[in-house]
């Protein structure tokens, strides 16, 4: 199984895989916020923009809007093909579209690129007001800051209340934050493979990834944009570690075992097939993502604690009024199902915990589209496409 990209097969990646002005816009739209956004950690972000994509048509009474929130290295391109402006196909393409669970003949689906990201929204690769990229000077963000920016987008679209808010992993953190910060604006809630607060182990794993990036000699304290250098090695190491946590041990054993990569000899500097697999995913990410965004978003995930300043997790979950389903992935070792069980037990409007059956680990919420579609259908039934 030859999955690796070798230097002879590809050109040197750009210093950043971020979307830049002058790149094809693809299907993106933008919302500009000209006034400062006050940040939870202090200070403010002086103006920002959020890139987003939409599918379907907003109903005259604005009752059919669905918010889809992406995970760490996702973006606004939930559905559709790869092409100019979109380096990869939609990451939930099987879920969004005519006749699918999020039927665009019924729903108006909105997917923003998260604040701090790198695919059109303001982040470290974006220009500062005084010129040049933010780089290492980009402020610390929390999930609450990111949701506040998304609420501003909803205001601009004229959406007072989401019929459904759905997200997995980091997207699930923001979906939960929506339901706690803005319960009156969240009608139904689908939380997938996420948690009420980042655990010590989750923080540790993300911290190692951030250290890998910051230890790259081309990091330049985050100010590498425009230098001609790039922390590709550090970002690649971060992706390798992360990807192992996204999949299950059983899947890796079945797919790769101890086999060598092609004719390579691991005892003489060659690779095992599983190492080649990780090389492949590292090479892909450095061509479509920005190392600075990876650090900023990882730190925002580590800050996630729905109970912070709210009297603890239990009190915060009591704020949720949305009809809720919570699902975990049975083979997830990064966000184990006991964390979703805590959410289901703590949200008074939630049904019993659901489990997505998958050999793929944490990534199961992205891969097992049919099972996720069944959860959507369960949560928002009705032939008219509106909540009963």
Residue closest to 323 by CA, chosen among 388, 268, 270: 388
Residue closest to 193 by CA, chosen among 164, 177, 171: 171
Alpha-carbon gap, residue 13 to 5, rounded angstroms: 12
Query: Strands of 29-33's sheet, edge to edge?
Result: 29-33, 48-55, 108-112, 65-69, 164-168, 188-192, 323-329, 354-356
Give, to the nearest 10 degrees, the angle between helix 232-246 and helix 291-302: 40
pLDDT of residue 382: 52
Residue closest to 190 by CA, chosen among 37, 326, 21: 326
3-state secondary structure the chain: CCCCCCCCCCCCCCCCCCCCCCCCCCCCEEEEECCCEECCCCCEECCEEEEEEEECCCCCCCCCEEEEECCCCCCCCCCCCCECCECCCCCCCCCECCCCCECCCCCEEEEECCCCCCCCCCCCCCECCCCCECHHHCCCCCHHHHHHHHHHHHHHHCCCCECEEEEECHHHHHHHHHHHHCHHHECEEEEECCCCECCHHHHHHHHHHHHHHHCCCCCHHHCCCCCCCCCHHHHHHHHHHHHHHHCCHHHHHHHCCCCECCCCCHHHCCCEHHHHHHHHHHHHHHCCCCHHHHHHHHHHHHCCECCCCCCCHHHHHCCCCCEEEEEEECCCCCCCHHHHHHHHHHCCCECCCEEECCCCHHHHHHHCHHHHHHHHHHHCCCCCCCCC
Instruction: Tell me if 195 sits within 8 A of 343, measured CB to CB.
Output: yes
**Catalytic residue numbers?**
169, 332, 362
pLDDT of residue 11: 63
CA-to-CA separations, 113 to 22, 50, 365, 372, in angstroms, rounded = 18, 6, 19, 21
pLDDT of residue 200: 98
pTM above 0.85, yes or no: yes
Taking only the tens place, the pLDDT of each residue in 30-42 is: 999 989 999 999 9
Taking only the tens place, the pLDDT of each residue in 218-250 is: 999 999 998 988 999 999 999 999 999 999 999
pLDDT of residue 13: 80
Residues of the chain with pLDDT under 70: 1-12, 382-388
Return the structure tokens found at 301. Answer: 């995930």
pLDDT of residue 314: 98
Instruction: Tell me if 256 sits within 8 A of 276, measured CB to CB.
Output: no
Alpha-carbon gap, residue 387 to 381, rounded angstroms: 7
């Amino acid at each position: 199984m030859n999955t690796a990209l070798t230097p002879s097969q590809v050109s040197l990646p750009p210093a950043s895989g971020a979307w830049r002005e002058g790149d094809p816009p693809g299907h993106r739209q933008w919302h500009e916020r000209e006034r400062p956004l006050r940040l939870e950690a202090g200070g403010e972000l002086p103006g920002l923009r959020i890139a987003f994509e939409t599918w379907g048509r907003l109903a005259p009474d604005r009752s059919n809007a669905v918010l889809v929130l992406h995970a760490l290295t996702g973006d606004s391109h939930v559905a559709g093909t790869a092409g100019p402006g979109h380096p990869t196909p939609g990451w939930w393409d099987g879920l969004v579209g005519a006749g699918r669970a999020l039927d665009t003949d019924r729903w108006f689906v909105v997917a923003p690129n998260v604040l701090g990201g790198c695919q059109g929204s303001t982040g470290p690769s974006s220009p500062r007001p005084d010129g040049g990229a933010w780089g290492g000077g980009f402020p610390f963000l929390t999930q609450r800051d990111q949701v506040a920016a998304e609420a501003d987008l909803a205001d601009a679209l004229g959406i007072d209340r989401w019929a459904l808010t759905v997200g997995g992993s980091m997207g699930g953190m923001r979906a939960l934050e929506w339901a706690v910060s803005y319960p009156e604006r969240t009608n139904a809630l689908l939380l997938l493979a996420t948690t009420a607060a980042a655990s010590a182990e989750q923080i540790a794993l993300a911290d190692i990834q951030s250290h890998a990036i910051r230890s790259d000699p081309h990091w330049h304290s985050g100010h590498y944009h425009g230098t001609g250098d790039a922390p590709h090695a550090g970002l690649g190491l971060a992706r390798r570690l992360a990807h192992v946590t996204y999949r299950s041990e059983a899947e890796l054993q079945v797919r790769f075992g101890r086999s060598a990569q092609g004719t390579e000899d691991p005892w003489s500097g060659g690779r095992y097939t599983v190492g080649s697999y990780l090389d492949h995913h590292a090479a892909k990410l450095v061509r479509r993502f920005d190392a600075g965004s990876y650090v900023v978003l990882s730190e925002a995930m580590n800050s996630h604690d729905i109970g912070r300043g709210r009297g603890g997790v239990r009190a915060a979950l009591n704020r949720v009024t949305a009809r809720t389903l919570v699902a975990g992935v049975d083979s997830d070792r990064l966000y184990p199902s006991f964390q979703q069980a805590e959410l289901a037990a703590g949200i008074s409007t939630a049904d019993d915990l659901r489990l997505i059956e998958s050999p793929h680990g944490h990534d199961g919420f992205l891969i097992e589209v049919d099972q996720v579609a069944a959860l959507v259908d369960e949560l928002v039934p009705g032939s008219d496409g509106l909540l009963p």
